[in-house]
Amino acid sequence: MKKKGILRALSAVVVLGSALILTACGGKKADSGSSNLPKASYKVSKDTPAWKSDKSKMTTLTWFVKEEWWNKDYGKDYITKQIKKDLNVNIKFVTGDDTKLNTYFASGNMPDMITIDDPNSKVARTANTWAYSLQDLATKYDPYFYKVAQKDTLNWYKIKGQTYGYPNYSNTPADYKSGKILPRDAFIIRQDVKDAIGDQDFTTPEGFVKGMKAIKEKFPNLIPFGFNDFSGGNSSLENVVQDMLGVPITKNGKYYDRDLDPDYIKWLNAFREVHADGNISDDSFTDDSNAFKEKVANGKYATMMMGSDVNQGTDLQNFATKHPGAEYLAINGIQSTVGREPTLSQAGISGWLINYISNKSKNPAKAIQVFEYLLSNKGQMLTNFGEKGKMYTQAADGTVTRTAFAKKVQLEEPTKWQKQYRIGEFILFGHDRYKALNKDSYVKAVWQMQDWGKKYLKPQFVIENIAPDPGTQEARALSAIQTNWSTTMVSMIRAKDKSEFDSALAKYKKFQKENSIEAINKTRDANIVANKKKLNMK
């Protein structure tokens, strides 16, 4: 009886408590809309940045960045000190994951600015319900924003005619044409290996298999062929190889399944033969990014299908410095058997991290000023190169040279470089256009690789963000298909013979059919049409 009484009391408390909490959470509904924005407290002009005329007192903004690695320091290093001084703004950075973001939404207590990383996510796709339109803010508070923002990028992120988010590293068609965007992928080989094996042709599947055998003979201690780790996706064996082969991204305006392209399959079979000869190590399939980096830094692989050489820059450089004459070089390899040119890709128009101003922000005027400042030439030079004169000098043609002092600090005091100067690290509005002004932005070891691929760069904007809406049946089916493909692709390379290879592929095709690939592709097709419209393409 006693027990029952306590139970009853307990349940009463539970009901009461949850009721209280529910009422506390309820009631707050989004009241979006930019119509009731307060008037600017300063004179607005389209020729001067608003931060120059805004004399209001120091304001504090909260900025949520959905990346755990983001450095939350503010006002301690030269760069953020300068931002604070110029804009009279104090920024409180908060980092976290989706759960944290969700508590913001659920409580209605939103940070002023929000940075997320996935243009495909529900958060990004419903931005019009929780963020201010950048056009509204810019027109009202800082029309200079239109001068510094890329028109194509603004167009790309439009939802119902308004732009809510602005990404970093968004490359527009003009950027691709400018030659300032550098490729990241290449088939690379160690110089000493290349010299020792004589004339080998790595451009055809047959030559590739033969070339790997030749390497094994001369360098039994090296692994002839390597590729990026699988921890973040399908290594460099999927998209990167497809780009090398120039596999088209659409066919007759419709989505093209690049994984099933006959040319690509032919190359996968070549990789199978290389694996069967013992010239691909099984460990390459289980290595995580650290293990891969270690192998790169030690020159373990004789050749590599290198995806994103910039990210392996330090390791490539370390190896090159320690082993002069053995540094990795980009050569022609892994090329189309049907005569297509490589179509290397780089960051697309969607960019990487997307910045928003929440419609709960108490000070949207300051927030848009921050956006404008960071996007402007002044902000970009500051975040990329630091203090003019002390850290860098700029020539008449715009190219930037780091001062001897800057080079010394970077080389000898990396902690100080990061903590006190924070050069090239404040990248929420970063862009390669500025990085390209200084050759030293990239390590010397990748220069030749970048030069090799320059002429092959080609945007893939039309297939960006075309996946079905997250949370739908189609999205779940697509995720199942992608999981299955990861397993299938590796199984195909590790297959003992051609028949095992073929049956794995057939099984995957069947799996695709069973998991409504047709409906998914229809959604993709519709999204491609929408993308083309945004890009003004026919």
Partner 1 sequence: MNSEAKRNKSVGSKVANWCRDFGRQWQLQTMVLPGIICMIIFNFIPIYGLTLAFKSYSVTSTIQDSPWVGMQNFQTILQDKYFWQSVQNTVGISAIKLVIEFFLPIILAIMIFELNWAPFKKVVQTITYLPHFLSWIILGGMLITWMSSNGMLNGLLNMLGFNIHTNHMLNAGGYWSIASLSDVWKEAGWGTILYLATMSKIDPTYYEAAEMDGASKIRQIWSITIPEMSNIIALNLILSVSGLFNSNLDQTLVLMNSQNQPKAEVINSYVYRVGLTQGDFSYATAVGLGVGIISVVLLTITNLVTKKLNDNQSVL
| Site for partner 1 contains 95 (CB under 8 A) | no
- C-beta closer to partner 1: residue 203 or 472: 472
CA angle 460–464–466, rounded 5-degree value? 135
Burial tier of 8 (Cβ tally within 10 Å: 0-12, 13-18, 19+): exposed
Q: Euclidean distance between the first and final Cα of the chain, in Å?
A: 78
Tell me if 12 contacts partner 1 by CB under 8 A.
no
Tell which positions 58-77 bind partner 1, by CB under 8 A: none
Task: Name residue 354's amino acid.
Answer: I
Main-chain phi, psi angles of 16, to 5 degrees: -60, -50
d(CA 83, CA 366): 12
- Identified binder of partner 1 from the candidate list 33, 38, 46, 98, rule CB under 8 A: 98
10 lies in the site for partner 1, by CB under 8 A: yes
- Biggest CA pair distance of the chain: 91
338 contacts partner 1 (rule: CB under 8 A) = no
Under the binding rule (CB under 8 A), the answer on residue 26 touching partner 1 is yes
386 neighbors 349 (Cβ within 8 angstroms): no
d(CA 218, CA 208): 16
Q: Is residue 305 near partner 1 by the rule CB under 8 A? A: no
Instruction: Determine, following the binding rule CB under 8 A, whether residue 530 of this chain makes contact with partner 1.
Output: no
Site string for partner 1, 279-298 (x = CB under 8 A): --xxx-xx------------
Supply the minimum distance, in Å, between the C-beta of residue 531 and partner 1. Answer: 22
Question: Per residue, what are the HEC states of 440-473?
Answer: HHCCHHHHHHHHHHHHHECCCHHHCCCCCCCCCH
Instruction: By CB under 8 A, tell whether 109 contacts partner 1.
Output: no
Q: Does 21 bind partner 1 (CB under 8 A)?
A: yes
| Out of 470, 502, 522, 525, the residue judged to bind partner 1 by CB under 8 A | 470
Q: According to CB under 8 A, which one of 56, 471, 506, 530 is a site residue for partner 1?
A: 471
Q: Please state the closest distance from residue 120 (CB atom) to partner 1, in A.
A: 10
Nearer to partner 1, 123 or 368 (CB): 123
Task: Quote the least distance from Cβ 135 to partner 1, whole Å.
Answer: 21
Q: Give the integer Cα–Cα distance in Å for 399 and 416.
A: 25
Do 388 and 196 meet the contact criterion of CB atoms below 8 Å apart?
no
CB of 285 to partner 1, least distance (A): 6
| 32 contributes a contact to partner 1 by CB under 8 A | no
Going residue by residue from 111 to 140, which x/- string records binding to partner 1, judged by CB under 8 A? ----------xxx--x--xx----------
Kindly state the tokens that stand for 16: 């009461």
Q: How far is CA 191 from CA 99, 198, 241, 324, 328, in A?
A: 48, 11, 22, 9, 6
Give, as ranges, the residues between 484 and 503 that touch partner 1 (CB under 8 A): 486-487, 489-491, 494
**Distant-in-sequence, close-in-space partners of 448: CB < 8 Å, separation ≥ 6:** 329, 330
HEC per residue, 357-375: EECCCCCHHHHHHHHHHHH
Amino acid of residue 475: A
17 touches partner 1 (CB under 8 A): yes
Q: How far is the CB of 18 from partner 1 (least distance, A)?
A: 5
Q: How far is the CB of 278 from partner 1 (least distance, A)?
A: 8
Query: Residues 387, 480, 525, 532: which binds partner 1 (CB under 8 A)?
Result: 480
Residue range at the interface with partner 1 (CB under 8 A); choices 10-18, 79-87, 167-175, 205-213:
10-18
Q: Which contiguous run of DSSP H or E holds residue 50?
A: helix 50-53
CA distance 137 to 535: 24
Q: Is 105 in the site for partner 1 (CB under 8 A)?
A: yes
178/286 with CB nearer partner 1: 286
- 323: which 2 tokens? 């082993």
Can you tell me which of 83, 89, 101, 148 binds partner 1, judged by CB under 8 A?
101
Segment interacting with partner 1 (CB under 8 A) among 82-90, 98-106, 258-266, 363-371 = 98-106
Q: Which residues contact 333 (CB under 8 A, 6 or more apart)?
A: 187, 189, 202, 203, 208, 244, 303
Q: Any contact of residue 22 with partner 1 (CB under 8 A)?
A: yes
The one segment of 78-86, 100-108, 189-197, 340-348 that binds partner 1 by CB under 8 A? 100-108
Q: In sequence order, what are the residues at sequence separation of 6 or more whose Cβ sits closer than 8 angstroms to the Cβ of residue 516?
A: 473, 474, 477
* DSSP helix/strand/coil, 40: coil
Least distance (Å) between residue 17 CB and partner 1: 6
Interface with partner 1 by CB under 8 A: which residues? 1-2, 5, 10, 13-14, 17-18, 21-22, 25-26, 97-99, 101-102, 105-106, 121-123, 126, 129-130, 230, 234, 278, 281-283, 285-286, 470-471, 473, 475-476, 479-480, 483, 486-487, 489-491, 494
